[in-house]
Amino acid sequence: MALGRYVSWFRRLCGPTAPTVDEGVKSEGKLAKVFSSEEDCGSRESLKEVAERIAKEFEFSDVDVRRAVDGFVKQMNEGLRSHGCTIEQLPSFITELPTGFEKGTYLAVDLGGTNVRVCSVTLEGDGTFSLIQGKSAIPTVWMTCDNPSGLFNWVANFVHEFLEQNYPDSLTTAGTEDAQIFSLGFTFSHAVHQLDINSGNLIRWSKGFNIDGVVGQDICALLQNAFTELALPILVTALINDTVGTLLARAYASPKSVHTVLGAVFGTGTNGAYVEQTSKISKMTGSRTGEKGIMIVNTEWGNFDQGMEYLPTTSYDKTIDAGSVNPGFEMFEKRISGMYLGEILRLVILSLVQDPKVDIFDGVAISEMLKLRAKWGLDSSFMSHLEGDNSPDLSLSRTQIEKCIGMASFQDAQAIRIISHAIGRRSARLGAVAVGAVIVHTGCLKRGEGEGRVDIGVDGSLIELYPGFAAELKAALGEIEEIGEGEERIDIVVTKDGSGVGAALAAHVAAKRL
């Protein structure tokens, strides 16, 4: 990104300097004042300078982006050739994209990072669909337990409640000649070694999950067993990752003149799935590759650069990793995803409060700041509020900070926003590394010469709700040499209910094989 454009956005973030006593509450809004080191004095100036110094630790330059893209493409190719690589490149066994003409009613279970959704999806055959859904937060007791069946039994009971509310007849006729058997697509948001379209063994947990006895097990079989125990009229016919589902859903709804190449999630976690030529998936020798010569591949890109050759790192990143359930893994995700961004900011603020040389929060004791003391006490939604605050006196930011931490002055809010912005900006630019690498690797911009457009379906709270995230990601794409002005032909489209509708579409594909 050009320096001028970055400075402009940085100035917009910081807002005007604090009003003086003589000025009262009046502010002229001269953004250039943000970078003046002579207009404030004493400890308050020091606080801003400290914030700007810390913000520089999170910079990720255009050169860094280009270098990381090269490394990402290299690791993508390694994953296509061999199993167990850093970017695992997991085959989905889905060898066609939706046309938009698909019809039928299917169930979907979307097991995400924090919630589970159960959906009934009716594909209308014209690129549209109707949907009934139920959603529930996953109890933390089932996320880190020692019972391998506990989570799946809980999901099955939730599905049973969904059927009771929406399809009660399916339960009363179960086991009879009139029984309605639902085909279900299972969206599972953790790394799986997929064996077929309806079978896959868990490689590892992510997103804070750590359930004993499940790694290496067929997760479809675990869910099917839970359904069978409750005598539910359901067959698990398709297994997909949430990013595969996002890609399928976007392809179903997109104009036929557009080439859909990638589905990506930037939310609690991050990952992407893209359309690959089966001839490049050399590790799949002898496997079913379909008639069209393509297959959707789940990258599991959250584990990119496990050896830390390309990723930036700070002391705060190291603390996050050391205190995680999977130290040394998912290093890319730990710098991007919504699960970790708020915790990075909390660690930075905590270090400021504990530093006797820094004047912040008017010296209030940390013992009174419960959320600041608590691990995961801040989340990415807190940062979203700060990023979206355009008020001249930072009143919105101060309100959010007071809700979560304590009373905040203008200088406190300004400093925290500077740091928060730097953390969020780094996340978006790292996201551009992944998206850009897929575009470079597939050569999709070259295939769509002229005005041909490339479509990317996205989902997740960061890409949808974090102010400026998508724009910063897209701008960084333009700084990648192989993309350049081609960035203008890339459409990044929020794909709502992607994982639910995508699972239904995968179930439709699986049904054609039965």
Number of helices (H), then strands (E), belonging to the chain: the values are 18, 13
Contact 372, 350 (CB under 8 A): yes
Q: What is the pLDDT of residue 257?
A: 67
Contact 349, 320 (CB under 8 A): no
Share of the chain above pLDDT 70, in %: 87
Helix, strand, coil percent content, the chain, rounded in steps of 5: 45, 15, 35
Q: What is the pLDDT of residue 27?
A: 31
Q: Which residue has the higher pLDDT, 297 or 11?
A: 297
Question: What are the helix (H) ranges across 105-218?
Answer: 150-166, 168-172
Q: What is the pLDDT of residue 313?
A: 97
Whether 146 is catalytic: no
Tell the burial category of 396 from Cβ atoms under 10 Å away from its Cβ (0-12, 13-18, 19+). middle
What are the residues facing 122 on neighbouring strands?
105, 130
Of the listed ranges 108-122, 230-244, 279-293, 384-398, the least confidently predicted one is 279-293
Q: What is the pLDDT of residue 5?
A: 43
- How large is the average pLDDT for residues 80-91? 93
Q: 184 lies in a domain?
A: yes
Q: How confident is the model at residue 459 (pLDDT cuts 50, 70, 90)?
A: very high
Q: How far is CA 252 from the centre of its chain?
A: 21
Q: What is the pLDDT of residue 6?
A: 42
Q: Which residue has the higher pLDDT, 331 or 284?
A: 331
Q: How confident is the model at residue 12 (pLDDT cuts 50, 70, 90)?
A: very low
Q: 212 lies in a domain?
A: yes
* pTM for the structure as a whole: 0.82
pLDDT at residue 3 is higher than 60: no
| pLDDT, the chain, mean | 87
pLDDT at residue 352 is higher than 60: yes
Q: What is the pLDDT of residue 444?
A: 92
- How large is the average pLDDT for residues 365-380? 85
Q: Which residue has the higher pLDDT, 369 or 299?
A: 299
Q: How confident is the model at residue 491 (pLDDT cuts 50, 70, 90)?
A: very high
Q: What is the pLDDT of residue 177?
A: 66
Residue 470 is given by DSSP the state: H
pLDDT at residue 231 is higher than 60: yes
Q: What is the pLDDT of residue 39?
A: 42
pLDDT at residue 199 is higher than 60: yes
Set 120, 149, 183, 189: catalytic member: 189
Q: 196 lies in a domain?
A: yes
Please report the beta strands in 257-382, taking only residues with DSSP state E, as ranges in sequence order: 259-266, 270-277, 294-298
CA distance 447 to 2: 28
Count: domains in the chain:
1
Share of the chain above pLDDT 90, in %: 67
pLDDT tens digits along 14-40: 444 433 323 332 332 322 233 333 444
Which range of 42-51, 249-258, 452-461 scores highest in mean pLDDT? It is: 452-461
Q: What is the pLDDT of residue 66?
A: 98
pLDDT at residue 294 is higher than 50: yes
pLDDT at residue 409 is higher than 50: yes
Q: 279 lies in a domain?
A: no
Residue with tokens 């509450």: 25
* CATH number for the domain harbouring residue 203: 3.30.420.40
Q: How confident is the model at residue 417 (pLDDT cuts 50, 70, 90)?
A: very high
Q: How confident is the model at residue 2 (pLDDT cuts 50, 70, 90)?
A: very low
Set 40, 44, 183, 204: catalytic member: 204
Q: 119 lies in a domain?
A: yes
- The parent domain of residue 174 ranges over 104-243+498-512
pLDDT at residue 238 is higher than 50: yes
Whether 5 is catalytic: no
CA distance 281 to 90: 10
Q: What is the pLDDT of residue 146?
A: 87
Q: How confident is the model at residue 448 (pLDDT cuts 50, 70, 90)?
A: low
Six-digit token pair at 291?
Answer: 């008639």
The CB-side HSE value for 380 (13 A sphere, CA atoms) comes to: 26
Whether 279 is catalytic: no
pLDDT at residue 289 is higher than 80: no
pLDDT at residue 232 is higher than 50: yes
Q: 194 lies in a domain?
A: yes
What H or E segment, with its residue span, contains residue 512?
helix 498-513
Q: What angle do CA 347, 350, 351 make, to 5 degrees?
A: 90
Q: What is the pLDDT of residue 328?
A: 94
Spell out the residues 6+ positions from residue 124 whose beta carbon is closer than 8 angstroms to its own: 103, 130
Q: 421 lies in a domain?
A: no
Q: What is the pLDDT of residue 170?
A: 86
pLDDT at residue 42 is higher than 70: no
Q: 13 lies in a domain?
A: no
- How large is the average pLDDT for residues 186-199? 87
End-to-end distance of the chain based on CA atoms, in angstroms? Answer: 50
Q: What is the pLDDT of residue 32?
A: 29
Cα–Cα distances (Å) from 393 to 17, 367, 389, 398, 410, in that order, read: 9, 28, 10, 9, 7
Set 40, 110, 218, 242: catalytic member: 242
